[in-house]
Amino acid sequence: MFNHVAREHTACTGKLNFDYSAEQQRGICWRETVICDKCRYRSKTFNLYTEIKTGKRGRPSATANVGLNIALTQTPIGPTSVRKICLSSNIPAPSRAGMNKCARKVCKDIERINREDMLSRRAELKKINRLRGRPENEIAVQSDGIYNNSLYSGVGKTPFQPATQCSYVVAENITPKKQIIALENVNKLCSKHGFHSSEDYQCNILSGGCSSTVPIETNIGNEKEWAKNCFLDLKSDSLEVKYLTTDPDSSAYRAALELKTAQITKTTPEHQIDTRHLGENHRKYIKRKAAVLEIMPGLTKGYKQTMRNRFSTDLSMRCKTEFENVHQTVQGNFVRLKTRIAKVKEAMIKCYAGDHTLCSSHSTACKGLDDNNWLSNSTFLPRTFRINVCNITHKKTFDECVNYRFGHKMLQNTKLNTNTQKVESVNQIIRRSLPKNITFPRCFPGRAHSAIFAANNGPGESLVRLCEETGCPITSNSRVAAALLTEQKNSEKGKDRAKSRTRKLKRNLKRAKLYEIYEKHHEEVNYQKGLLLRQAGQRRKLQNRARTFIRYEHAYSVRQHRKKLLRQNNIQGGSCAIVHTPAFRQ
């Protein structure tokens, strides 16, 4: 710009400056005109930005504006927040309407780019199956959905479920990367009317199509329907689901089974339960089982309840560890797996009773030594923890707790040892792009696809590729490119660090330290729901109860228990005579 102005303005000695009254703002970019303070020279208006050449009608977009909206799809903020940041920094902010218009265009491009990326990943899966000697059209997948609001949080407040947007994610389960290969977006919101019903008039939005994809009366929690759409999308690319891993309360498996029944697909699907959710359900089952309280050690009911809570977590973790170790040892052979697990159950009941004779030969998680066994190394239970299984009823209770995880049907449903951790982590990435407090009715699909693209490619590489595909490439070997490369490497290092043995050990030590501190300083319950709505007498009673700590087996209760025993034996004064006998001292 200044070279052009210098060649035109040669005869005058006046000073050149911008004409601030004629400048034009384009988002975060500007168009400027140069004037002379001495003569009447006025240059043409220059663009202080690079335009994207699309060959379409209308004003070309600035590369900086497109890049800004691409970055916004991978953050929880929108145009309003960007304006606040600019204005608080004393920078003229871009208009909200202009940013929204650019965001809608960018989101459509991102959706197209991500669909093409998922198609290329499906082609890679076919190639992998051929190289492994397996049918190229059969794959193992995991799936789960995420909602902008909880499905059951508005009981009595709204006539329908509070959630209005859903993203259903399907990831492959045959490679270590666990790539996302299908996505279904469901949106009840319309940017003009708020929502539509099946009996409502057709949406007449003038600027672009309607953002709503289903009517308001649709059951948005119908994961069976959303999974079916994803499986049909995979079928269009000649891929069929052989093994489907979901959480225990999902109905996605019925969708795959219906496609086989309707002869749309030829592969008979097999359902696998997510081991992570199963472990949590196992813990809750033990915690709620009343009979478990009878086999817990301790003198007081409060202490036994505490031990039951910690025992439920420990036993669930023990079953998970034993199953994973055995599954790795037998290399997935289901017949050998059942045989080894039967021996593991026999060793576990004696291990928790303090007898580790079978652990060294049958258990994979307990060393079987007096000073190095599962109970001595547990972060959930004290080292002196023992359960009484001499009683037949107690042994039956323990067997029921173990068989919840190691029963034949449950072993059959978890024989692949797969989980839905990948789609759960992707749900958190989607939550970053689509937070609960903002709905983004029009940009909802684009933001969801941007989150999936980032999950498949990484935070740095995804931005580089999106900017390149949308016509605003990042200059190679620049500081920006180097910073994005560093962001990509840090993300990969963080994943490897979280899975390292050192980090797992640190987490275990931290948990053990927290339990040790909790043993010394128990939490005091001060909060009582609806306290001010109760009458005065009830209120004082609840306040006094809230100030009282839970009584555990401490020194005072032990002394009281000993005094009770002395009174029962009619021993008067001093100490018990039985303590001084030779047999007691031995």
Quote the mean pLDDT of the chain.
Answer: 86
Q: pLDDT by residue (tens digit) across 118-175?
A: 999 999 999 999 999 999 999 999 999 999 988 876 666 777 888 899 999 999 999 9
* CB distance 523 to 306 below 8 Å: no
Confidence tier at 226 by pLDDT (50, 70, 90): very high
- Relative to beta strand 46-47, strand 29-32 is antiparallel
Query: Which residues have CB under 8 Å from 562's CB, separation 6+?
Result: none
**Residue 332: per-residue pLDDT:** 85
pLDDT over 60 (residue 567): no
Report, as an integer, the average pLDDT of 19-32: 91
**Residue 488: per-residue pLDDT:** 93
Nearest 5°: CA angle at 517, between 514 and 521?
130
Q: Which two tokens stand for residue 364?
A: 């994979």
Report, as an integer, the average pLDDT of 229-257: 93
pLDDT over 80 (residue 180): yes
- Separation between Cα atoms, residue 199 and residue 220, nearest integer Å: 18
Confidence tier at 543 by pLDDT (50, 70, 90): low
**Residue 371: per-residue pLDDT:** 85
DSSP SS3 for 310:
helix
**Residue 549: per-residue pLDDT:** 43
Percent of all residues in the chain with a pLDDT value above 70, rounded to a whole number: 87
Q: pLDDT by residue (tens digit) across 83-102?
A: 999 999 999 999 999 999 99
Across 255-264, 444-453, 513-522, least confident range: 513-522
Higher pLDDT: 538 or 240? It is 240
**Residue 579: per-residue pLDDT:** 35
**Residue 525: per-residue pLDDT:** 57
Residue 235 has, within 13 A of its CA and on its CB side, a CA count of 15
pLDDT over 50 (residue 568): no
* CB distance 276 to 418 below 8 Å: no
